[in-house]
Chain A
Amino acid sequence: MSQSHMDDQARLQENTGLPPNRNLKGRFGFGKNKRPRKDLQNGVGYIFLSPFVIGTILLTMFPILYSLYLSFTNYSMGGTPEWIGFGNYVHMFNNDAMFWQSMEVTFFYAGTAVPLRLIFALFVAIILNKVIEMVGVYRTLLYLPSVVGGSVGVAIMWRQLFGNEGAVNGVLSMLGLPTHSWLGDPNTAIWTLVILYGWQFGSSMLIFLAGLRNIPTSFYEASAVDGARPIQQFFKITLPMLTPVILFNVIMQTIQGFMAFTPAYVVTAGDPINSTLLYILYMYRQAFEYFNMGYAAALAWVMLVIIAILTAIIFKSSQYWVHYEDK
């Protein structure tokens, strides 16, 4: 190892023509006085970081701050932003019925779809935890919907499944049950999206599964000796031991649920009568169909604040229900 090390070094010196021990302090302006070597090494670190730092500043921080600025302007695509203070926010809360409609839809969607996905993921993870053979195959198959689930293709398939002539109605009529216009009825359309979200339970399931594997079997053995039944074991051991993982999943999934866009855009386009108008879809419409970029930016910031508050509440509440083993 050290031999090739030396070779490399020699070659690099040759290429740059720099003497091996030349002090680089000052040349690049890094090392200051006392500990040049150490600071210089930090400099190298920063250089290595620079693509990401520059990338973050240019491609993330700048757009974020710019959108904050735009949210205080009347900015029509292609025009010049015109400062209107809190005008967008005032309009949103006072005069925009569609804003409240989309808010209602989104809270309903996240409020039902996130628990559905988590309960389902936990359920499947517990079953999978008991499976001994071919776990890898099952795990892969069950994870599959999450890989393809966000795609447009699946959304189109969903539309077919729940269509008037779709597979769901086909099965229902085969069983002699009444069929229903799932996507055409304002009361049921949102549920097709909720189920689509729940169906993509794969990533939460994997995390639950890892959590389950981490619970020492000795706990179960000891409780079994004391005469605990499986249902008691689940509520007294499994669930408390899983709470840190549940917390993580709840936060991640809640954020994702509030930002859902594709299903509403492709499966239902917000119809019927805006019963599936998710917030991000409404924001997209304001931006790319009505060209109200400033207003759309304001909508985005309101959602950011809502998600931040919800996340904070969940974190705050965690001290009452999350159990950490080391405490």
Chain B
Amino acid sequence: MKRNYQVPLYSVMAAALLAACGGDTDNGSETEATAGEEEIVLRMSWWGSQERHNMTNEIIEMYESENPHVSIQPDFAGFDGYFEKMATQAAGGNLPDIMQQNHGEFVNQYASQGQLADLQPFIDDGTINVSAVSETVLESGEFDGELVGLPTGMNALAGLYDPDMIESAGAELPNEDWTWEDMIDMATTVHEYTGNYGMRLMEPGNMFEYYLRDNGKRLFNEDGTDLGYEDDQLFVEYLTMNKRMVDDGVAPGYDVIGEIQGLEDELLVHGTAAINFRWTNQLNTIASAAGDDRNIELAILPGDNNDEAMYLRPSMLWSIAENSQHKEEAAKFIDFYTNQTEVFDVVGSDRGVPINEDIQEEMRSDLNETDQKVFDFISYVTDHSTPVDSNYPPQAAQVLNALEDVDELVIYGQMTPEEGAAQFRQEANAILGN
């Protein structure tokens, strides 16, 4: 008697299984087939602050209303976690069509895996217009001869400083020709007179790389197979300088730095540090967090050779995923973002100074005080710099992490600068497979 249940049960279960499997495909075709011939859904991802999310969403709406057949699904996060998220999507062959990339170790990592599309064909066929973009800027988006990302705007390293604090201590303000000794003198004086930190160093990755450039060296050699400097003495000097400043209380140690929660919480914002080495596009956030009554200025980094050491770098890059089904539509959006004035009316210099020089000129007439400083600074650096290094090996992220570890060990006093420099070379060699 009982078995009579069985047949219907089989069929019910089979139906349930089929339904479960079918779910996905149903949804997919539904969204794509609604508005006739070619309704296109692009996915786009970026990292940033809430302010950037709002501005970018506004730009997406602008684009969608001009291109009704395209709808863009935004996917945004803070910088922490963004690349982990992208990594899982990359593993699944599911990267977003348009992706905000980071210059250097990040973009090279993705490009070396063949995850990013070459944008050159879209430039050749006119989809992306780069007639108002300089050759050097374009080159900074290249990896291995392919254009894997178009810069969203340009950035430079800068010392963001509080002139009032420095002057009140009777110290000399930073200028174009200041040296590392000048920097230490200034910071020490400020510390002694105000009790504040005289300076706050940047994470060692960028700062030590700059230090090497100032000494005519590079972090990685030309083909990215080895470190680009032979004499560990350079790293010893750099570490010794930092260690001394932290020990003297002139610069904060990692215990203090580790507590800082984002740009808005920086020591410079709270008025407890006189200078902070950062990127120019961060001036806006820092200045507005510091408040209207504070004056924050930009200075060239110190060094005997800073004309050579300074460089312009893409703040970020727009890349197209190799797995994208709609590369051309993605390219059209990137063209829109690069060449439409109204985009920059919204976003300002948050993604760097626009690479389209006509737009740059147009914006110049109507800048707020902060953007004015950034634009002036970038144009100074344009004339006093050498090209950015793009020769990061795919393992660069790991090498830079080892660099940071050594810096920490030395600052915490668990290693001498000499031991640190030697250990970094050894670890870098192990990572790079030498």
Contact = CB atoms under 8 A, between A and B. Distances in A.
Interface of A: 8-9, 12-13, 15-16, 18, 20, 24, 28, 37, 40-41, 44, 47-48, 50-51, 76-79, 95-97, 163-165, 181, 183-186, 271-274, 285, 287-291, 293
Contact of A77 (B2, B87, B408): B87
Nearest to B87: A288
B63 to A, nearest CB: 29
A163 B255 contact: no
30 contacts: A12-B5, A12-B8, A15-B8, A16-B11, A18-B4, A18-B7, A20-B4, A44-B6, A47-B9, A77-B91, A77-B113, A78-B113, A78-B114, A79-B114, A96-B430, A97-B427, A164-B255, A164-B259, A181-B256, A184-B259, A186-B412, A272-B254, A273-B412, A285-B401, A288-B84, A289-B83, A289-B84, A289-B397, A290-B397, A290-B398
A16 B7 contact: yes
Contacts of A20: 1, 4
B276 to A, nearest CB: 19
B356 interface: no
B224 to A, nearest CB: 15
B412 A13 contact: no
Range for the number of chain B residues in contact with chain A: 35 or more
Chain A to chain B: the 4 pairs with minimum beta-carbon distance, closest first: A184-B255, A78-B113, A181-B255, A273-B408
Contacts of A165: 259
Given A47-B13, A76-B394, A291-B113, 9 more contacts: A16-B11, A24-B6, A24-B7, A50-B13, A78-B115, A79-B114, A97-B427, A164-B259, A273-B412
A20 B401 CA distance: 72
Contacts of A15: 8
A40 B254 CA distance: 69
Given A47-B10, A273-B405, A183 B259 contact: yes
Chain B: interface secondary structure? helix
A20 B6 CA distance: 11
Interface of B: 1-11, 13, 17, 83-84, 87-88, 90-91, 93, 109, 113-115, 253-256, 258-259, 394-395, 397-398, 401, 405, 408-409, 412, 414, 427, 430
A16 B8 contact: yes
B254 A271 contact: yes
A185 B256 CA distance: 10
A185 B258 CA distance: 11
A290 B394 CA distance: 9
B8 A78 contact: no
Contacts, number: 104
A189 B17 CA distance: 50
A40 B3 contact: yes
Nearest to B20: A51
B405 A274 contact: yes
A186 B255 CA distance: 9
B255 A272 contact: yes
Nearest to B396: A290
Contacts of B10: 28, 47
A9 B7 contact: no
Nearest to A268: B258
Contacts of B394: 76, 291
B91 A78 contact: yes
Nearest to B430: A95
B408 to A, nearest CB: 4
A15 B7 CA distance: 10
Contacts of B427: 97
B45 to A, nearest CB: 16
Contacts of A273: 254, 405, 408-409, 412, 414
Contacts of B395: 290
A184 B114 contact: no
B117 to A, nearest CB: 14
Contacts of A185: 255
A163 B261 CA distance: 11
A24 B88 contact: no
B90 to A, nearest CB: 5
Contacts of A290: 395, 397-398
A304 B397 CA distance: 27
A220 B61 CA distance: 75
Nearest to B16: A51
B146 to A, nearest CB: 16
Nearest to B402: A98
Of A8, A37, A290, most B-chain CB atoms within 10 Å = A290
A193 to B, nearest CB: 15
A95 B253 CA distance: 30
A148 B11 CA distance: 42
Contacts of B259: 163-165, 183-184
Contacts of B113: 76-79, 291
B256 A164 contact: yes
Given A78-B114, A271-B254, A291-B113, A40 B6 contact: yes
Contacts of A163: 259
A57 B395 CA distance: 35
A51 B20 CA distance: 11
Contact of A12 (B4, B253, B401): B4
Contacts of B109: 291
Contacts of A289: 83-84, 87, 397-398, 401
A163 B394 CA distance: 35
A163 B412 CA distance: 18
A254 B47 CA distance: 38
A262 B412 CA distance: 25
A50 to B, nearest CB: 8
B13 A77 contact: no
B5 A184 contact: no
A271 B258 CA distance: 8
A100 B421 CA distance: 20
Nearest to A182: B255
A48 B90 CA distance: 36
Contacts of A288: 83-84, 87-88
Given A184-B255, A289-B87, A291-B87, A37 B4 contact: no
B256 A184 contact: yes
A290 B83 CA distance: 11
Contacts of A12: 4-5, 8
A40 B3 CA distance: 8
B408 A9 contact: no
B71 to A, nearest CB: 27
Contacts of B90: 77-78
Contacts of A95: 430
A15 B414 CA distance: 78
